[in-house]
Structure 1
Amino acid sequence: MNNMKKIIIVLAMAFIIVAIFKVCVSRDTYSKTGYKGKLPKVGAAIYKYDDEFMSYICNSMENDAYGRIALNMNDSQNDQNIQLQQVDEMILKGSRALVINLVQPKAAKAVINKARVANLPVIFFNKEPDASVLNSYDKAWFVGTDSKESGILQGKMIVDLWNENKSKWDKNQDGKLSYVLLKGEPGHPDAEARSKYALDEIKKAGISVEELAQATAMWDDAKAKEKMDGWISKFNDRIEFVISNNDVMALGALDSLEKAGYLSEKKFIPVVGIDAIPNAIKKIKEGTMVGTILNDASSQGRAIIDLVTNAANGKNILNSTSWKITNNKYVRIPYVTIIKDNIDVAEQAYK
């Protein structure tokens, strides 16, 4: 009996070790491919793995990297010091190019200094470095979107939706759109641009607005729910629109509104976000969320891998690709407005 128990314990420990090993290499296509020594090594650092939108970009990158480069991705755990250490380690391990999703955009200069010393190309993505920093190194590029465009499209979408539903959504019939705004992290280029340009478009359309409140929720659903709970308690029926810098925060706000009974037809409060993640698409189909802006994670992942594969092989970054570059530095992926009428566009992007 004792021997049987020992065998069971040994087998259980072996299973756990194998499971851990699989987790450790799950973001390392160098280990997956079996092309050891033949594919160029590329080191990537992601600001944090548990960001839902970033997970879709990471999946796209892994799929497109397979058999082309030995991609090793690292979780920077939302800590810039950890990320800079990871950059050093990736360089020491023989990476021939770097892919960096910055924790803090201001850290781009430090990353470039490290890449320059090692004479390595570096592709930044999602969080855009300052133009002067990007232009300071001839082997640095950015793949991502134009934050201004997402704000403009969100603003135009709000204008159209408000004009179509004003009789129902203008609760006190004062002609004003009374809103609350959920912002991403303070100083983040996307958060600032999305907020500014969305509101600018609404005002340009001649719609009077009243800001009841705005707050930072750090792109997080739980923080957004907490903010929304407080606003419902404070403003009650005065809230006529919830504008969110991303879908994750929008979903947190929806959770709060649903629990407070504000998603029924008579008390409905419209919510819009940005990214068009699958959970938001589902809510739009259900009619509990009214719109979002597609931030095409799949295309961004493909563009990143296409460019870094060329860079790691010493080729022009656009070699044999269809991507367009502006100012010799930027590959921009366009946003798309998503409402219930064209929800299939967003669904197709995540297939």
Structure 2
Amino acid sequence: MKIKAAVLREMGKPGPYTESKPFQIEEVELDPPQQNEVLIKIHAAGLCHSDLSVIDGNRPRQMPMVLGHEAAGEVVELGPGVKDLAIGDHVVFSFMPSCGHCNPCITSRPGLCENGVAANGAGVLLEGGIRLSGRDGEQIYHHLGVSGFAEYTVASRQSVVRIDKTLSWDIAALFGCAIITGVGAITNTAKLALGQTILITGMGGIGFAALMGALAAGASKVIVADINEEKLKKALELGAHSAVHSGEENAIDKVKALTNGGVDIGLECAGVVPALDFTFKATRRGGKTVTVGLPNPAYRLEISPLQLVAEERTLQGSFLGSCVPPRDVPAYIALYQSGRLPVDKLLSHKLRLEDINEGFERMVKGEAIRQVIIFD
């Protein structure tokens, strides 16, 4: 079938993106779903910094590619072997498909699925192969098994989670990345305990989701840090107890003064090494520093192994919020519906697919929290 999609053909184009236009809106061919795959009509797709990391070349991928990994849509066709979904079901995508039988999958760590990692790295679906093609039959690669910047997509059954049909599409899309990554990092990775203190560095969509997760989990003090004053102000409006400009010379001292020596948990969401260094240094002796950011793979963080031992520090990564999506996505949606996780407040902009370059330029300038493309 012919569909309209935003195709990225070249990484590293200079800004502003409103002029260089890294995305081209094209008509592409989408093949029908194969074994254990589903055809999904996309209703909403969020713009995420992980997409930006491909656009600017910090996370190299195969080209050309249809990006977009945070999305929600409706099942319109079932491939052979799919028996636990029905046409008309509403789904949220998980950007890491899980095969269900490798070691990470059977030990409840599907975000580390060996077969999913291999498929995502190759730009193909979990079952293998590519369902997108462009002019003259050229291959167009899939992004993290989703490729949500398109009217329709084909995905593995293992890349989608069925959700409550009463949830609006724009809100549903946020649960595909921002919420599971930010809230999951709090509840699953950091395992924040009632009364602990936390610093969240980097107030994008994931950072704000983490803020809401920390408040819902009962943190006694939530401190946020960023170099954007408007985002710090917004974080305070959403319940943060204190805000620190991380670019100031004495920023670490301010965090330590607020917490009697440092926070119990530091969470870095900015995706740059200086932010991780700042967060680690602001975490107390015996504390845990968690990072969800995805900096350029060539960058390095310098820490003292002696400090890890003598101060019993923990430095840990969190991918997919250490979530089990079929378990956690419905749970987080229930928290939203009960009013305890007001994720609707993350939604700062709604746009059309044709406005995608403007949306990413807005992201680069730090003028948005979470932007969602609406296809209806």
The TM tier, using the shorter chain, reads 0.3 to 0.5
Q: Which has the higher helix share?
A: 1
TM-score (normalizing by structure 1): 0.35
Q: Bigger radius of gyration, 1 or 2?
A: 1
TM-score (normalizing by structure 2): 0.34
